[in-house]
Chains A and B, each alone.
Chain A
């Protein structure tokens, strides 16, 4: 079955440590995204990548870094510079750019990683 796999499901870290969240997809999608979810705030875009070896900052990129060395993988590193890292992190993917809006399959999400930093 095709899908998006995020690991681990739960992650605990001490303040001041960097931590990397894994996201792998076997949907052959070109684009991948990282969202952060906090209670009552919906989902906010951290970084996205529309093609291998290229990525762009989203709305809340400060304190995060990403890489896109392979089409199927888009790991997110939460650095010690991120002031409030405790959150639920969601990875998503989508096919390449559509010609018409209805040709684009909306985002497919993984099941998330809950990061707790103390």
Chain B
């Protein structure tokens, strides 16, 4: 099955720094999602993007749905220690029989030093 190409694989940053990660795909999606996973927990949805070119914010998080529908990025501003975790992008095509079947990136492991 297809997987998305997510980068970077890991990041080590100082508290207060901004973070940027992105995802690319060889095929288009009509929905892009960003999830965060804390150790030993299930992923939690951070931001959902439904329209090409859409820029959406959730607090210190900002995500964009690429114009080509083949990519997305997530920015975290002014990072804090609780931002630590694994961030996953996911794409899917809602509608028809494919709803809910997500294709995930490999994840970006974020470490924030106080």
Whether A107 pairs with B102 at a CB distance below 8 angstroms is yes
* Chain A residues bordering chain B, tally (CB within 8 A): 35
Chain B 41-71, CB within 8 Å of chain A: the 1/0 string? 1111100101000000000000000000000
Select B107's contact among A9, A42, A48, A112, beta carbons within 8 Å. A42
Whether B100 pairs with A111 at a CB distance below 8 angstroms is no
Give Cα A57 to B41, complex, Å: 25
Give Cα A106 to B1, complex, Å: 20
Is B73 part of the binding interface, using a Cβ–Cβ cutoff of 8 Å?
A: no
Residues of B within 8 A of A1 (CB): none
- Determine the interface band of chain B, counting residues with CB < 8 A from chain A: 20 to 34
Whether A43 pairs with B41 at a CB distance below 8 angstroms is no
Within the complex, the shortest CB–CB distance from A117 to chain B, in Å, comes to 19
Is B114 part of the binding interface, using a Cβ–Cβ cutoff of 8 Å?
A: no
Chain B 86-108, CB within 8 Å of chain A: the 1/0 string? 00101000111101111011110
Whether A40 pairs with B40 at a CB distance below 8 angstroms is no
Is B31 part of the binding interface, using a Cβ–Cβ cutoff of 8 Å?
A: yes
Is A64 part of the binding interface, using a Cβ–Cβ cutoff of 8 Å?
A: no
Whether B9 pairs with A102 at a CB distance below 8 angstroms is no
Select B42's contact among A90, A96, A100, A106, beta carbons within 8 Å. A90
Whether A43 pairs with B104 at a CB distance below 8 angstroms is yes
Interface residues of B (CB under 8 A from A): 1, 3-4, 6, 9, 30-31, 33, 35, 40-45, 48, 50, 88, 90, 94-97, 99-102, 104-107
Minimum-distance CB pairs A-B, first 8: A59-B1, A109-B42, A101-B94, A42-B104, A94-B100, A102-B50, A43-B104, A42-B106
Given contact pairs A41-B3, A44-B104, A48-B101, a sample of 5 additional A-B residue pairs in the complex whose CB atoms are under 8 Å apart: A40-B9, A90-B43, A97-B96, A101-B31, A107-B100
